[in-house]
Structure 1
């Protein structure tokens, strides 16, 4: 094999998956502001025996070698649930995806994209979206703005050069995802305070923390609202029952009841807001390694994430309320409660809301009203095969 020959090899076994994850961690370590993630967590995401995403998806991982040395990686995958969606929602019949894109240079990137596209064509796909690594609920999009600061929990971080490499292969922008940065130390504007106070006087409304003593039931409530609230959004793929249970198990160690809210109307849950302390604060300090002493520092942080930033990755209001003033009022009430607790108990200074679809005018209006501003943009690209 010559020193400049590029070979793209499929990954089909456990050692290969380990090499795939280690390569990604190596790329992350060389990317400014990236935060190393736990190796075991990354391995689990691509393990067909552990991640229920594989129950409705076909996945092929690839590693690129140049001169026999690893030089890049990519995934090609087909989500059977996404194939059933209406095309106007961004996916639909014939749509495959690529994700986990890392490359040493443009030539490696082009070879990886070509191999992923070829695999998708072999499976009968006529269009590709990406990067989506791998579920739309995991790490969708390529970072195209906001490279100068570290990502929060469950957000991707990529070198700026990847954008040009992908676009050079004929990919066009399909959707932009936004995250908003919020200084939570000041009170919200007077108008928002009046809206919240009005809701607090409404006897039909109750805003409560999640109840960890009946965690499985709470998870089902949140995911039921989410699947309804987001069902007409671009890129929406419903959670399965197994994915609901899996997500609940993974998130529980990060859930602080006082930072997560469910809104009830006449005693019926109609909205929720999920808030997670930014575990990247802790992972950065232990370099994403549990051993020999990282586990101790991580456990201590989980018990008291004092000073941590907060991320609101998900919120939802039942569709029946979407065109009412009540929808935004419930959102303001939940985020107001969470802001108050986070600043008072955990000394939180900033929060991040997102991602938010760039055409989600309702959520953008809420973000603007509380004086938050866009700090990161992610691009999802599309290409005909």
Structure 2
């Protein structure tokens, strides 16, 4: 007879509890060549209320499922007060969902997250977001044949069935696109980008690491404005953006960190940006999330050899869209990335309902090769 599943509550404020939660997926993915464990020290920082300023407006609960002495799953439950204020939706979220292929285990974990969120006024549970839409989010539903790139999730195919069996349905799909940078820029993309340049109204510049703080604030303002009406979006506060920028700072490559500026009477002003980062998952495979001295040496040495990057963010503010700036940014990332020795880029993620951006990416040569799904379930 199979032992029953017990769900245990952990505190994100306690390092030992965070460590137990972070370590939970490792045995579940043992032997899966596509799984890449994130660096444990980075997940600690993300979950720690004393370090991550996101926690100032959000509440996070951690749970693990155990059967006897074996950990068989985990989940986080989330309430974000800022989301409620801005979106006027009393939502709860779940994230960091990992589970053995067992419907009873999944049901126990989700029921605990639902109970927790309902007690705090949530009328729907949505996820996975880990722990927000600015972080890893979505369940992989298409594209299981290759590992994830940096800061994108991975899960076995059976996760979809577990969630659906517990009453969860699609809320939104997120698309990931693959670009082959070893091939020339598509003629149609080159024509559009060339026409934008010929008008002389815009210019592209790289982000200046010497002015890191002011550049971060420019990107934050563009990000919050360009994404303002996107599904599920909540603007980043100054302290949140600064914290996130510091997490990515060591990966910043100015060659593929671009700002597009429009000419105004007073000079040029930023109206859009694109940010790509090297896919360090190429190096993290097999490290199991542990950054030992040898692993750190391997990471630093390997950064120069990475041949894949992720186009993490690309946006243009309202009033400057449909003028070819998205095409100009994609072309520049393609050309500059290829010049730096990058062979492949993933652009992710893009909302399924962002029809214009999806169409632009396909015309630019992007191949839709992965789909991630945000699920939701009413709690009333």
Instruction: Please give the TM-score of this superposition, normalised by the length of structure 2.
Output: 0.94
Which residue matches 1:339? 334
- How far residue 184 of structure 1 moved from its aligned partner, in angstroms, is 1.4
Is 2:98 the partner of 1:98? no
Q: 1:227 to 1:29 in 2, by over 3 A?
A: farther
2:180/2:345 contact within 8 Å kept: yes
Are 2:293 and 1:289 equivalent residues in the alignment? no
Matched, 1:368 2:380: no
Counterpart position of 1:354 = 348
Give the drift of 1:32: 3.9
Residue 113 (structure 2) aligns with: 116
CA distance in 2: counterparts of 1:52 and 1:249, whole angstroms = 13
Deviation at 1:93, TM superposition (A): 2.6
Name the structure 2 match of 1:189: 186
How much does 1:193 deviate?
1.2
Task: After TM superposition, list the pairs within 5 Å mapping 1:181-260 onto structure 2.
Answer: 181-260=178-257
Deviates more, 1:274-283 or 1:306-315: 306-315
CA distance in 2, matches of 1:145, 1:26: 23
The answer to whether the 8 A contact 1:185-1:349 is kept is yes
Cα offsets for 1:130-165 (capped at 9, x unmatched) = 111111111111011111100111100001001001
Partner SS state of residue 4, structure 1: coil
Note the 1:120-139 alignment, pairs <5 A: 120-139=117-136
- Cα displacement (A) at 1:339: 1.5
CA distance in 2, matches of 1:103, 1:31: 14
Q: Is the 8 A contact 1:29 1:36 kept in 2?
A: no
Matched residue pairs, number? 372
CA–CA distance in structure 2, aligned partners of residues 230 and 41 of structure 1: 25
What residue number does 2:76 align with? Answer: 75
Give the distance between the partners of 2:117 and 2:289, measured in 1 at CA. Answer: 33
Q: Is the 8 A contact 1:184 1:339 kept in 2?
A: yes
Structure 1 counterpart SS, 2:307:
coil
- Deviation of residue 177 (structure 1)? 0.4
CA contact (8 A) 2:279 2:306 kept: no
Match of 1:89 in 2: none
Q: Equivalent residue of 2:24, what SS?
A: helix
Flag structure 2 segments of 5+ consecutive residues without an equivalent.
none
1:383 to 2:377 alignment: yes
Contact 2:282 2:306 in 1 (8 A): no
Shift of 1:320: 2.3
The answer to whether the 8 Å contact 1:229/1:319 transfers is yes
Greater mean alpha carbon deviation, residues 169-178 or residues 331-340: 331-340
Aligned to 2:3: 4
How far the C-alpha of 1:301 sits from its partner, in A, is: 2.5
C-alpha distance in 2 between matches for 1:110 and 1:163: 13
The CA distance in 2 between the partners of 1:39 and 1:340, in whole Å, is 34
Deviations 1:264-313 (A, max 9, x none): 001000000011110101111644332140111111223x2x34211111
Name the SS of the counterpart of 2:372 in structure 1: strand
Would you say the 8 A contact 2:278–2:306 is kept in 1?
Answer: no
Could you list the structure 1 runs, at least 4 aligned residues long, displaced by more than 4 angstroms after superposition: none
Cα distance in 2 for residues equivalent to 1:364 and 1:197 = 21
Measured on the aligned residues, the alpha-carbon RMSD in Å equals: 1.5
Q: Is the counterpart of residue 279 in structure 1 residue 276 in structure 2?
A: no
The CA distance in 1 between the partners of 2:257 and 2:155, in whole Å, is 29
